[in-house]
Structure 1
Amino acid sequence: MSKNKKIGVPFPVEESITYADDSVVSQTLLNKDTGTITLFAFDEGQGLSEHTAPFDAVVHILDGQARISIGGDSHTVDKGEMIIMPANIPHALQAEQRFKMLLTMIRGE
């Protein structure tokens, strides 16, 4: 758990991370053997190149809009929307405009 977040205490998710020019900012909120919850803020033009992960991941867009490709299919994901990225399928994220997301990764079979 991040040192400035306490389990059992409400906090404003979207305001908990800020954009940085020409950067991707991340903040881990929870890191357990069973999975992680991480906040990200992507500046326009930033992204994560195509990669795979051995477990499922849920992306919830908190602000802005993301371009997310999964297995070669490209999706525009807007504020308030979620997308599930399945384990072992190549995926990538691109900020055509700034966006913030909450990433929940669930480790398992």
Structure 2
Amino acid sequence: MNKLKNIDQSTILRLEEELTYQKGQVVSKTLVQNPNVSITLFSFDKDEEISSHSSNGDAMVTVLDGVGKFTVGEEEFILKKGESLIMPNNIPHAVYGEEQFKMLLTVVF
């Protein structure tokens, strides 16, 4: 059974081109979702955010384009294209578009 969805297989991909920016929105595209792992692409318009929440899985974000601000617990991190951050499970975290940006989120449960 195929575990991937919403994405071409057996082809070279440019993940940052798999979704577009939309004015005043956070856009997401789920690539994998199962009990063990979740992989999702996101695009954030400037000043858009996902408010503080926690997850029971360890998360890794990789910025694909632009600049995003990540709050993990009480710490803030500014990430640019090509940079990644680990957000440990059960620690509140939030994401904010310092400018338009895209990211790949991988959560391992």
TM-score after normalising by structure 1: 0.92
Percentage identity across paired residues of the two chains: 40
Shift of 1:2: 2.7
Residue aligning to 1:86: 88
Over aligned residues, Cα RMSD in angstroms?
1.1
Residues 1-109 of structure 1 aligned to structure 2 (within 5 Å): 1-3=4-6, 5-107=7-109
In 2, distance between residues paired with 1:9 and 1:29?
15
Question: What secondary structure, in the 3-state scheme, does the structure 2 residue paired with 1:33 have?
Answer: coil
Question: What secondary structure, in the 3-state scheme, does the structure 2 residue paired with 1:14 have?
Answer: helix
CA contact (8 A) 1:49 1:92 kept: yes
In 2, distance between residues paired with 1:68 and 1:92?
6
Shift of 1:31: 1.5
Structure 1: gaps (5+ residues): none
Shift of 1:9: 2.8
Shift of 1:68: 0.4
Structure 2: gaps (5+ residues): none
Residue-by-residue CA offset, 1:15-72 (whole Å, 9 max, x unaligned) = 0110000000000111222111100000001001011101100000000011101011
- State how many pairs are aligned: 106
In 1, distance between residues paired with 2:98 and 2:13?
28
In 2, distance between residues paired with 1:26 and 1:33?
19
